[in-house]
A and B are shown apart, each in its own frame.
Chain A
Amino acid sequence: MTQTNYSLAELVIVACAEAWRNDGEVMATGIGPLPRIGAGLAKMTFAPAIQTTDGEAWYTSEPVPPGKRVAESEYEGLSNYDRVFSALWSGRRHAMVGPVQIDRFGQANISMIGDHRKPKIAMLGARGFPGNSISHPNSFFFPSHNKRAFVEGEVDFVCMAGYNPERYIGGKPPRGLDLRIVVTNLCVMDFGGPDHQMRVVSLHPGVTFDEVQANTGFLLARIADDVPTTPAPTEEQLEIIARLDPNNVRASVFKDNPAGVREPA
């Protein structure tokens, strides 16, 4: 039964889970609470074969909750640092990451803003983004959909490769490049438009396409004239989410933990 009483965070978790639907037996890495709970939800429902980790060095049989652990996990395998590279270079991984910027090619940045020699804002550094991006599927989560995140032109420092022909010898991206979905506080997108143009595939309840476009620095395609509404969590999904997140970390992701169905302005 479809619920109407759910939070935006819970709607987003359900949308994030979809990233792993057809992946088979891969390492699923969701960075940040909502993608992580999303991966857990996928594993507990339609994608039982995916492997999730304790955030450190082990695969566990069941997803590990964000925050305080409620019970000792059953460890089912080793995912130490070396093994993570072995898995990701093989392609048997799908990560959902939260960059600071993304552009129309799907190129993403977590390194810095401004001039690389003397940044205006220094952040993490490229981390594993370059290797992840050309080795296995990647999806994205942005808690705040705006033009600072969805930038006009290219991102300040391309950490994650994208569909920009100018960046490749012969214009052809490497075969491992496979950008899947982008989940935000407003909508779900993919790269299914012409020439991998980012495309709105569903709008969260109460959000319009024009609003998404107005908050994006480049032109978006849409899946249909009438873009579907992002599916609401089912009662079963809400119950599993509550079990996967007993500390209610999900309530702290969006300011004031807004409802999934937005009141008309």
Chain B
Amino acid sequence: MLDKRMTVDDIVDQLSDGMTIGIGGWATRRKPMALIRAIARSKLKDLTIMAGYGGPDIGLLAATGKIRKLVFAFASLDHFPLEPHFRNARQAGAFEVLELDEGLYHWGLRAAAMKLPFLPSRVGIGTDIIRQSGFDFKMVKSPYEDSEELVAMPALVPDVALIHAHRSDERGNILTLSVDPLFDELLVRAAGVSFVTVEKIVSTAELEMKANSRFNLVERAMITGVAEAPFGAHPTSAAPDYQLDLKHIKAYVDSAASPEAWAEYKAKYIDVSEAEYQATIGGAEVVEALPVPVY
């Protein structure tokens, strides 16, 4: 079937306990937050979360106890460098981690996308990344004259990938209109099963592919389902449609200060429908007017 339209809840129904879920985006950019909130509300448990470039996705899933194992290179809210919910959970030993370099994570996705068991790299040599307990990194020797000893970065293969894009048609032809496509394409290719939330589902003609094809990340054959979720990346950005909501991110940061503060945030923003969430944050008018951040 070429009609791949689903709801956010339909997507969450496709997930199960113990699954390895890869999350796209970068820190405060284009995180599939409507999906993350829905997972946080769900009964799902024991998830392995692959979020190399983590932000509030990691923090929210950590704070709601969804993570059994985290594969990551960093967790940050960028303007607020330390992700406070990630920090609290990690300091409590709440989950196991495989900590990677950002480039090594990219390389593991690329290996998976190429259906290779590993790709060689120098990255990790000389560091504790390749000495982590719970994971046995292997080295490989170059078979050529140089005989260099390299890290064999294993393929990172999620069961599903979750990303947020700007537009899609019902067939799963997606457009990611931001300047930086990040590594969402590789994540989708690595997973083979991918669910995408988009700001707007439009007709194929409205995608104007001839002009916009360079914003088309990946073949639609790689996209399993698309759900319309306007402002579904909030409080992270989906520029050019809207910018990150620094005020909300501050409120989110403050919610890590105490169990009471977290309970209040959770009741207000997580344990509600996405429609209520959107209304609470002020609706389209407020989100569309968010100022461009400075870096």
Task: Answer whether A and B are interacting partners.
Answer: yes
Hey, which bits of chain A sit against chain B, CB under 8 A?
A: 54-58, 67-69, 78, 80-82, 85, 88-89, 107, 111-112, 116-131, 133-135, 157-162, 164, 167-169, 173-174, 176-177
**Considering the chains assembled together, what is the distance between the CA atoms of A194 and B208 in angstroms?**
63
Query: Is B87 part of the binding interface, using a Cβ–Cβ cutoff of 8 Å?
Result: yes
Partner of B101, one of A54, A57, A128: A128
Residues of B within 8 A of A173 (CB): 126
Distance A135 CA – B125 CA, assembled complex (angstroms): 11
Are B128 and A116 within 8 A (Cβ)? Answer: yes
Question: Contacting chain A: which of B102-110, B165-173, B194-202, B266-274?
Answer: B102-110
Q: Residue A174 contacts which of B106, B126, B183 (CB distance < 8 angstroms)? A: B126
Give chain A residues whose Cβ lies under 8 Å from the Cβ of B74. 124-127
Contact B102 A128, beta carbon cutoff 8 Å = yes
Q: How far is the CB of A24 from chain B (nearest CB, A)?
A: 22
Neighbouring B residues of A118 by C-beta, 8 Å: 91-93
16 pairs of residues in contact across A and B, judged by CB atoms under 8 Å: A56-B179, A67-B294, A85-B102, A116-B97, A116-B132, A117-B134, A125-B74, A126-B99, A128-B73, A130-B104, A130-B123, A130-B127, A131-B102, A131-B103, A131-B123, A169-B139
Using CB atoms, name the residue of chain A closest to B185: A82
Q: Are A127 and B91 in contact (CB under 8 A)?
A: no
Given A78-B179, A117-B96, output 7 extra A-B contacts at Cβ < 8 Å.
Answer: A123-B82, A124-B75, A127-B73, A127-B74, A133-B126, A159-B127, A161-B125
Nearest Cβ distance between residue B28 and chain A, in whole angstroms?
11
Main secondary structure of the interface of A (DSSP, over half): loop
Known: A112-B90, A118-B93, A125-B75. A158 touches B126 (CB 8 A): yes
Across the interface, do B180 and A160 meet the contact criterion of CB distance under 8 Å? no
Contacts A169-B149, A177-B126 given; does A126 touch B76 at CB 8 Å:
no
Report A-chain residues with C-beta under 8 Å of the C-beta of B26.
Answer: 81
> CA of A17 to CA of B102 in the docked complex: distance in angstroms?
26
Number of interface residues of B (CB under 8 A): 44
- List of B residues within 8 angstroms of A128 by Cβ: 73, 101-103
Bound together, the chains give a CA A82 to CA B187 distance in angstroms of 13
B81, B179, B294 — most chain A CB neighbours (10 Å): B294
Chain B interface main SS type = loop
- In the complex, A69 Cα to B291 Cα: how many Å? 13
Q: Tell me, in angstroms, the Cα distance from A254 to B45 when the chains sit together.
A: 45
B→A interface (CB under 8 Å): 26, 54, 72-76, 81-82, 86-87, 90-93, 96-97, 99-104, 106, 122-129, 132-134, 139, 149, 179-183, 294-295
A55-B295, A117-B133, A130-B104 given as contacts; is B122 within 8 A of A135 (CB)? Answer: yes
A118-B91, A122-B87, A124-B76 in contact; A82/B183 too (CB < 8 A)?
yes
- Distance in Å: Cβ of A95 to nearest Cβ of chain B: 13
User: CA separation between A111 and B100, bound complex, in Å?
Assistant: 10
Contact A124 B126 (CB under 8 A): no
Whole-angstrom distance between the Cβ of A153 and the nearest chain B Cβ: 13
Instruction: Please tell me if the beta carbons of A134 and B73 are within 8 angstroms of each other in the complex.
Output: no
Q: For residue B90, give the distance in angstroms from its CB to the closest CB of chain A.
A: 4
How far in angstroms is the closest Cβ of chain A from B210? 22
- CB of A129 within 8 A of CB of B101, answer yes
Query: Which 3 residue pairs of A and B lie closest in terms of their CB atoms, listed nearest first?
Result: A161-B126, A55-B295, A118-B93
Which residues of chain B are within 8 angstroms of A112 by Cβ–Cβ distance? 90
Evaluate contact between A81 and B132: CB separation under 8 angstroms: no
A80 touches B128 (CB 8 A): no
Query: Is the pair B124, A130 in contact by a Cβ cutoff of 8 Å?
Result: yes
Does A54 contact B73, Cβ atoms closer than 8 Å? no
- Given the contacts A85-B103, A177-B126, A126 and B73 also touching, CB distance less than 8 Å: yes
CB-based nearest B residue for A110: B74
Assess whether B127 is in contact with A176, with CB atoms less than 8 Å apart: no
A49 to chain B minimum Cβ distance, whole angstroms, is 23
Q: Are B183 and A81 in contact (CB under 8 A)?
A: yes
Residues of B within 8 A of A117 (CB): 93, 96-97, 133-134
Instruction: Specify the chain B residue showing the minimal Cβ separation from A125.
Output: B74
Task: Determine if A168 and B125 form an interchain contact, defined as CB atoms under 8 angstroms apart.
Answer: yes
* Given known A80-B180, A112-B90, A158-B128, contact A56–B102 (CB-CB < 8 A): no
- A160 CA / B97 CA spacing, docked (Å): 19
Q: Give the chain A neighbours of B54 by CB distance below 8 A.
A: 125
B103: which A residues are within 8 A, CB to CB? 85, 88-89, 128, 130-131
* A134 B128 Cβ-Cβ under 8 A: no
The interface residues of chain A lying within 8 Å CB-to-CB of B96 are: 117
Given A128-B73, A131-B103, A81:B182 Cβ within 8 A: yes
Separation of A112 and B26 alpha carbons in the complex (Å): 20
Q: Cβ of B139: which chain A residues have Cβ within 8 Å of it? A: 169
Give chain B residues whose Cβ lies under 8 Å from the Cβ of A129. 101, 127
- A125 and B99 contacting across the interface, CB-CB below 8 Å: yes
Residue of A nearest to B54 (CB): A125
